[in-house]
Every structure is written in C-alpha cells, then in structure tokens.
Amino acid sequence: METRLLDDYFRFDDTEPEEMRRYLVVVIYDVIDNKRRNRLAKYLKRFGFRVQKSAFECVLDSKNYKKLTGGIAKYITADDLLRVYKLAGNADVQVWGSVEKTEVDEVIIV
C-alpha cells in the first residue's frame, strides 16, 4: 500500500504572533457510552474532520483551540480516555490507505 506525505498541508509559520498562529490538532478518544461518544463526535465536527472512527484532525488558531479543549469535559467521564495533540511548525504526517486530506480552510464556530 502506498504512503502519502501530507506535510505540505501542515506547514505553519512558527514566527507568527500567538493569536494568529494555526496548529494541527489531533483528538483521539475512547468513550464507553454510545450516546456520549456520538455527542462528542458531533462536537468535534464543529472544529475539524473525522479521519478515523475515534480520531479527528483540526487546523485551529489559539482562540478556537481553547474553545475546543474548554468544551470537552462535558462529554467525557473518568472511565473514558481522550487525548488532544497540538502540533506546531512542520508536522510530519504520513497516511496509508484511503483517507481524505484534512481541509485547512478557516472553521467558523457559531
């Protein structure tokens, strides 16, 4: 199976001021309850794109990153596991299989 390198999509300027800087944010989770898991996925779709059943990729500025992380607690319990990776600079992303590229368009959250 062929690997695709997506690093051209994830080159962000580390010299920009913090409020203007964008990050590749990866959210992975294991939520036990179906209802809460579906609600969490719906919440995450507001910020990015599902790349696997329990994984999302987002391209966010600092303000939207804080919104994302600030709202997560209401969807998980102590029995669940959720990780958020905030990547700056040149992220080396390699993909095997049939995966759509992550969109880098601005996401507007209402």
Q: pLDDT exceeding 70 applies to what percent of the chain?
A: 70
Instruction: For residue 100, give both structure tokens.
Output: 């759509």
Cα angle 31, 36, 41; round to 5: 80
Which band of pLDDT confidence, cut at 50, 70 and 90, is reported for residue 110? very low
pLDDT of residue 106 exceeding 90, the answer is no
**What are the Cα distances from residue 26, in Å, to 56, 63, 85, 107?**
6, 16, 5, 15
Instruction: For residue 26, give both structure tokens.
Output: 């990866």
pLDDT of residue 26 exceeding 80, the answer is yes
Instruction: For residue 101, give both structure tokens.
Output: 């590229």
Q: Roughly what angle, to the nearest 10 degrees, separates helices 62-72 and 34-45?
A: 170
Record the pTM: 0.76
